[in-house]
Amino acid sequence: MRLILLGPPGGGKGTVAKELEEEFNIPIISTGVILREEIERKTRLGKKVQNIMSKGRLVPDEVIIEIIRERIKREDCKKGYIFDGFPRNIEQAEFLEELNRELGKYIDYVFYFEIPFPKVIERLTNRRVCKKCNTNYNLLFNLPQKDNICDICGGELYQRDDDKKETIKNRLKVFTEQTLPLKKYYQEKNLLAKVDANCNRNALFLEIKKILGGL
């Protein structure tokens, strides 16, 4: 099963991706997580993208394309994958289509996470992420049991650089201009399923599972 989770930052894609990964035993491919790991490891790529990401802009397509081309061919993707944060623009979507054509594969579903921007801003400013396993928490509605410690792996929680208010505004502008056109793109390919992301995570996951049940 090959899935794309599409929607604004803070819409709950990362959280749903984790649940889908557990339920269907297919890996999450999150370009944001991969890039943040590069920054953490202070690699050449990490140094190249750090400034771009802290401003909330998109990393150049050729960087993303290289990451995806390499990642998608690994053994664990044989049964499928969940894209979180990719594709981010039409060019990336066209690249994916071409790559899948080469590999004889196809995307099963693109889930579009519908959620109003004010809600997204509230969620992002209160988001905390585990440094070790990338699980998301929220200071308003999904607190860890112990302050600043991940319930799952005991890792330390932190606030992402780009979850600060000034950067969030820019990320939403980038989303509207570059990523939102993908909604129409996938609608026209009959792959889009809109889901209500302005609700609790259980309800959202159930909605997605119900749609996938039809596969």
Q: CB 102 → ligand AMP: shortest distance, Å?
A: 19
Residue of 61, 60, 59, 51 lying closest to 161 (CA atoms): 51
Q: CB 194 → ligand AMP: shortest distance, Å?
A: 20
123 labelled catalytic: no
Out of 55, 57, 160, 164, the active site residue is: 160
Report how far residue 153's alpha carbon sits from residue 175's, in angstroms, rounded to the nearest whole number: 31
Q: CB 29 → ligand AMP: shortest distance, Å?
A: 10
Query: What would you report as the CA-atom Rg of the chain, rounded to the nearest whole angstrom?
Result: 16
Residue 173 or 210 with smaller CB distance to ligand AMP? 173
Residue 132 or 146 with smaller CB distance to ligand AMP? 132
Q: Where are the beta strands (DSSP E) in 53-166?
A: 81-84, 109-114, 127-130, 136-138, 157-158
Report how far residue 149's alpha carbon sits from residue 153's, in angstroms, rounded to the nearest whole number: 8
Residues near 66 by Cβ (< 8 Å), separated by ≥ 6?
A: none
13 labelled catalytic: yes
**Binding residues for ligand AMP (CB under 6 A):** 9, 31-32, 35, 52-53, 56-59, 64, 85-86, 88, 92, 162, 171
Out of 18, 36, 123, 171, the active site residue is: 171
127 labelled catalytic: yes
Active site residues: 13, 88, 127, 160, 171
